[in-house]
Structure formats: structure tokens, C-alpha cells
């Protein structure tokens, strides 16, 4: 199981809206994430807009590729792009740069 942590930045003026959107994640999006091995997926948002994501998955590259094939993911990414600063690819899911895991207490 891969443990993956990543950072993104939410625009300061969009923090409240971003929180609301994540209280209402579409059921079909949740199902797609589960279908492609996204387990224990969590997002943490700091008051300055720093977003920390964490997911456990058998293979992160396969989990990402699976979501890329989902129409619901394309719709979600288009709607959510407005909330982020500095997306390299224009979408959050393809701008993720995992951090190096240097310690895990088993």
C-alpha cells in the first residue's frame, strides 16, 4: 500500500467556498475514487490556504490514471480549478506532486 501526501494552495478569497464544496462531494465522484483504489483519502486545509492531501492506495499512478478515465472526474476538476493557485497543468489532480515519505511508524 502506498501512502501519498501532497500539497496544493487554495486561493485565500475562496477558502469558505472550498470548504462548502467538500461537504457536498458528488456521490458519483466518491464512487469513482473508491473504484480506483483511493482509500483513507483526506484533505486538510490551513487558514492560509495550504491544502494537505493524503491517500493510501495500492499504486498511486494507477489510481490517478483510473480517475483520468472518469467523466465525473473531468467535470469535478473543471469546476474545482477556480479554487487553486498555481496549478501547473490547469487541474488539481494532474498538478499533484507527492512528497517523499521519510518515516512511518508501523
36 as an active site residue: the answer is: no
Q: Single out the residue of 75, 74, 92 nearest to residue 83, CA to CA.
A: 92
Catalytic option among 22, 35, 75, 78 = 22
Q: What is the CA radius of gyration of the chain?
A: 14
Q: Single out the residue of 30, 29, 55 nearest to residue 42, CA to CA.
A: 55
- Show which residues are catalytic: 22
Amino acid at each position: 500500500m502506498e501512502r501519498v501526501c501532497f500539497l496544493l494552495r487554495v486561493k485565500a478569497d475562496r477558502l469558505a467556498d472550498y470548504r462548502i464544496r467538500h461537504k457536498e462531494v458528488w456521490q458519483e465522484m466518491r464512487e469513482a475514487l473508491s473504484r480506483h483504489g483511493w482509500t483513507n483519502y483526506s484533505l486538510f486545509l490551513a487558514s492560509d490556504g495550504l491544502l494537505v492531501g493524503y491517500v493510501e492506495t495500492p499504486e498511486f499512478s494507477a489510481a490517478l490514471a483510473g480517475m483520468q478515465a472518469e467523466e465525473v472526474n473531468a467535470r469535478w476538476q473543471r469546476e474545482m480549478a477556480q479554487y487553486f493557485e498555481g496549478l501547473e497543468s490547469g487541474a488539481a489532480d494532474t498538478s499533484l506532486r507527492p512528497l517523499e515519505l521519510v518515516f512511518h511508524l508501523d
